[in-house]
Structure 1
């Protein structure tokens, strides 16, 4: 049976694809439009999501957080939605390739954050964090779209359960 954390990561990928498809329909003007919100544009939120997904991939694959933070400083908010979709697809492929190589998802790693210190955590907990982080920011994007008069898409977990993913 597939590990619950992998199911949640698969949900994360599905939900991003659903939202990115909607953003593609709306176009790059909406994607880069300035908004009064938690982030100044949808592209800034998506850039943040991309950076964080890559940061956690580095950590899961054995790079310490301080080094991973240095690697992932490249902002991607100036890219088009098509370029971002390509980046997320590449990131997903990296994750799946790594995780499908018989990685023990319950393996304990030492997470050493510059702001909170050291703690033990498992790869599965990190995957859960990636998934919940995505949920939070997809919610930001939905609110930003609605604030500007556009509809979003449903990316609830139950929608994923009943989809043809």
Structure 2
């Protein structure tokens, strides 16, 4: 549980750093904003699934502005913090059932879903950094080791 908790502290830190960078550059690069909003919307979908609620109508790709991203960063951090605070080690292997956006049903452990959320966001934050560099903007250092230092 300590490792998962640390992964989520890093996730929240990395999201905040990306958000601050995007706020400072304006909305010139819509592709970057679309990727960041995808991270946040996907987090919301997975949080909803972890809570045992229907996520089938929630978007995972949408053109949203920086204000919506800011709200999602705050909401997702609060929801994930609450979820993790109430989660016991024994709950990590509990299976959750959910239906994806295409209507297909799946079951995965809470542990696997939490791992997926953290890795999914890091993958797309890497894409964001690649696009920032291509635009001549300094990439955001979101390395885990930087976080733990």
TM-score with structure 1 length normalisation? 0.76
**2:72 corresponds to:** 87
2:137 paired residue among 129, 146, 150: 150
1:132 paired residue among 91, 116, 119: 119
Q: CA deviation at 1:85?
A: 2.0
CA distance in 1, matches of 2:106, 2:62: 28
Structure-2 change in CA distance of 1:152 and 1:114 (3 Å): closer
Unaligned runs of at least 5 residues, structure 1? 35-39
CA distance in 2, matches of 1:85, 1:91: 10
**1:18 corresponds to:** 17
**1:33 corresponds to:** 28
Structure-2 change in CA distance of 1:121 and 1:73 (3 Å): closer
CA distance in 1, matches of 2:22, 2:99: 35
Structure-2 change in CA distance of 1:98 and 1:145 (3 Å): same
Of 116-125 and 148-157, the range deviating more from structure 2: 116-125
Q: CA deviation at 1:56?
A: 0.1
1:159 paired residue among 139, 146, 149: 146
**1:53 corresponds to:** 43
Q: CA deviation at 1:89?
A: 1.1
SS of residue paired to 1:68: coil
Unaligned runs of at least 5 residues, structure 2? none
Residue by residue over 1:4-33, the C-alpha shift from the partner in whole angstroms, topping out at 9 and shown as x without a partner, is 22221221111111222222222x2xxx32
Structure-2 change in CA distance of 1:120 and 1:86 (3 Å): closer
**1:105 corresponds to:** 92
Structure-2 change in CA distance of 1:144 and 1:126 (3 Å): same
1:43 paired residue among 33, 40, 50: 33
Q: CA deviation at 1:83?
A: 4.1
**Number of positions where the alignment pairs a residue of Structure 1 with one of Structure 2:** 147
